Each structure stands twice: as structure tokens, then as C-alpha cells.
Homo-oligomer: A and B are copies of this chain.
Amino acid sequence: MSPLATTPDPPYVAVIFTSLRTAHDDAGYVAAATRMEELAAEIPGFLGIDSARSPDGVGITVSYWLDDDAVAAWRTHPEHLETQARGRQEWYDRFELRVARVERVRSYRSSS
């Protein structure tokens, strides 16, 4: 029901992808983003993904992975590599990709 990822206890790896979209090809971008989420979920060691994009074009996607091997498998997946190239050519003015090791987590759910 909840669209937020639920992850196991740390440690695990978070890939933090922040981006600024170009103004064109929204349909192509959305289709590719949806496909990449499906593809990521097939990689062994995938733990979950969260994504948000504001109307001003700032997007943040955080994907969670069991370990560095899982991140490497995702980074080098052939279909993902093709889509990364399209992203640089067409969809992104700028992005920053940070690989981080999650050490502590705090969760909250409203009781109502």
C-alpha cells in the first residue's frame, strides 16, 4: 500500500541520484524511468527504490542494494548502460550520483 521502500536492517548501500531534467521528451523519460525501476528490481541484491520529482525539474531517486556487487551489477547491466547514455544525451541537464553506506535508520508511521 505505501509507496515508500521498506528495507532490511542496515548496513546496506544507498545510491542517491539527484538530477535536473531538460525540458523535452517527457513521455520518453517517464517510460524509461518506469522500465529502469522494473529492471533494477530483477537484479539480485536489489532492496527497494524511492523516487520523487518536483514540478521545477529537480528529481531524487534513491535505490537500496545489499552490497557493492549488487550496485556494480546494476551499473553495468547492458540495458541500463544504453539508458544511461540516452539520459546524458536527452533527459538530464545535470546529475549527481552518490554511493553511500547506510548505517542507521529511524522509521515513523502515524497511528491513525
Contacts and interface: CB of A to CB of B under 8 A. Distances in A.
Interface residues of A, number: 43
Given A2-B20, A58-B3, A58-B52, A96 B102 contact: no
A54 to B, nearest CB: 5
Interface of A is mostly: strand
Interface string A1-32: 01111010010001010111010000000000
A96 B110 CA distance: 12
A20 to B, nearest CB: 6
A53 interface: yes
Contacts of A2: 20, 94
Contact of A108 (B3, B10, B53, B95): B95
Given A52-B54, A110-B22, A98 B104 contact: yes
B105 A96 contact: yes
A39 interface: no
Interface string A87-106: 01000111111111111111
